[in-house]
Chains A and B, each alone.
Chain A
Amino acid sequence: MSALSGRTAIVGVAESDKIGKVPDKPAIMLHAEAARSALAEAGLTRDDVDGLFTAGIQTTELGEYLGIEPRVTDNTSVGGSSFVIHIAHAATAVATGRCEVALVTHGESGRSRVGMMPRPTPPDSLRGQFEAPYGLPQPVGAYAMAASRHMYEYGTTKEQLAEIAVATRKWAQLNPKAYMRDPISIQDVLESRMIAWPFNLLDCCLVTDAGGAFVLTSMERAKDLRQTPVTVLGFGEGHDHAMISQMPSYTSFAARQSGKTAFDMAGVNHGDLDLAMIYDSFTYTVLLSLEELGFCDKGEGGDFVSDQRTAPGGEFPMNTNGGGLSYNHPGMYGMFAIIEAVRQLRHDYADEGVRQVSNAQLAVVHGTGGVLSSAGTAILGRA
């Protein structure tokens, strides 16, 4: 597998023209805008693309809308982690010569619900039979239930979960594109409306409209393009259940395996990393992911995030765009964690003070999908 490490690079990233509330654009146009901008940033055109990757819609629909006829097509759609998993699939396809320029796109009208496919739960489906009758709101109730188990087993507190929301909001205050930028305190989190115990409103991600895209190609070709290449050094993926009622352990998930696979491929240690982009659908998602990725021992996630260690200026820069909690979360946020890691590694924010993680060389991007169901991890580096 190490034959795939360092062979490819991300050479362009972009969000859709507008993010947040975009009631006049269908989901597929959000894909298209981001794709167009990411290609332009890379200095490539639509006609260069020969590998197409997306989730949420079919690659056939995307190819039709953009006029792309790929020779590699990949519709892996396992929730918000999908786009991180697409890094692995695209890097593999490019490194093995199956395609040369991979375009990976995302677009969801999560808030305005324009052009979104309905997701019904038929009464004879497994979820229809064994979960839907009991009124667990999805996905918040599923993550809340899992969090209750971590609190029970390890003594994790609501205050520790709130630390994550507060630190992430501080990063959002530095990002003009962030949806929520007013400062919040731990007390504000604890006193926000209860949604599903142990989660209050501010433990939960936003619901927005947005698209995102990135372009990945070989290292050789990347050197001739416009941007500082961001090298793909390692990746891993996996899943261990679909429904929350089938999760083998509420305090462990596929990130344990995907993370180890990615770190081993990249040949880097946790202490080498300058930046972590960790999917934050809910505060607990982050806490559990940090443990599962090996940044701290099992049960010590609460201590790890305490005292605002992940905030701007803290020891462990994390979710530096303001995350799904405060910047943008249209439903499957993983794409935006990738975009931010790339911008940090290119030093795009060099003129923006503390927003730029100082001399960032190595980043981990971790995506979680479904209800802690799927995981994708990538290690990226400044070339």
Chain B
Amino acid sequence: MAEYVKPIPLADGTTRPFWESLKAHQMKIQRCNDTERFFFYPRGLSPYTLSDNISWETVSGRGMIHAFTIVHQNRAPGFVDELPYVVAMVELDEGARIMSNIIDVTPDPEHVRIGMPVEVVYEDITDEVTLPKFKPAS
């Protein structure tokens, strides 16, 4: 694997189950059991009730594009070589939203659309870290 030069996330004690689930090519996010609502990013408590009554649940990895941009200018290492590319908010079927890239799509507003169904792709960027990317649903 060529050297990975983009920012590599580093888990903390409250987010580690998310990153470990991705490494196993699953996606676990948290649910508030008081309200039965999912939330993301991971937190040490429910953002809806401030309660500890939260749990990690495996989710489908399916969702749809809620908002997006097509990046044409970014001098940062790694990204500069991939212009243009798509950054989007994906609304998961379970309700939470996650930022990611949409891959395997022509980076053009004629081909990327809000409401488009997408599914997760696990991208192993290092031996330790896997990113959740999304592609148009098959």
Within the complex, the shortest CB–CB distance from B25 to chain A, in Å, comes to 17
Whether the Cβ atoms of B99 and A198 lie closer than 8 Å is: no
Whether the Cβ atoms of B10 and A145 lie closer than 8 Å is: no
Interface size for B (C-beta < 8 A) is 39
Name B47-70 residues within 8 Å CB distance of A: 66-70
Whether the Cβ atoms of A134 and B74 lie closer than 8 Å is: no
* Surface stretch bound by B, among A25-33, A62-70, A123-131: A123-131
Whether the Cβ atoms of B9 and A129 lie closer than 8 Å is: yes
Most buried by A among B11, B67, B131: B67
A135 within 8 A of B: yes
Whether the Cβ atoms of A124 and B11 lie closer than 8 Å is: yes
B residues lining the A interface (CB < 8 Å): 6-12, 15, 19, 40-41, 66-74, 76, 78-79, 82, 84-85, 87-89, 97-101, 109, 114-115, 125, 131
Whether the Cβ atoms of B99 and A134 lie closer than 8 Å is: yes
Q: A145-B67, A145-B69 are in contact. Are A137 and B9 (CB under 8 A)?
A: no
Whether the Cβ atoms of A197 and B10 lie closer than 8 Å is: no
A-B contact count (CB 8 A): 111
Whether the Cβ atoms of A196 and B70 lie closer than 8 Å is: yes
Whether the Cβ atoms of B9 and A130 lie closer than 8 Å is: yes
Q: A132-B7, A136-B87 are in contact. Are A149 and B66 (CB under 8 A)?
A: yes
Nearest CB in chain B to that of A151: its residue: B114
Indicate the size class of the contact surface on chain A. Answer: 20 to 34
A residues lining the B interface (CB < 8 Å): 121-124, 126, 128-137, 141, 144-146, 148-149, 152, 193-199, 244-246, 250
In whole angstroms, what is the CA distance A198 to B70 when docked?
A: 8
Whether the Cβ atoms of B70 and A121 lie closer than 8 Å is: no
Q: A121-B7, A149-B66 are in contact. Are A130 and B99 (CB under 8 A)?
A: yes
In whole angstroms, what is the CA distance A134 to B8 when docked?
A: 10
Given contacts A122-B10, A196-B71, 11 further A-B contacts (CB under 8 A): A124-B12, A129-B11, A129-B15, A131-B99, A135-B6, A135-B71, A135-B74, A136-B71, A194-B70, A194-B84, A245-B99
In whole angstroms, what is the CA distance A145 to B86 when docked?
A: 10
Contacts of A126 in B (CB 8 A): 41
In whole angstroms, what is the CA distance A195 to B87 when docked?
A: 13
Q: A136-B99, A245-B89 are in contact. Are A148 and B68 (CB under 8 A)?
A: yes
Contacts of B97 in A (CB 8 A): 245
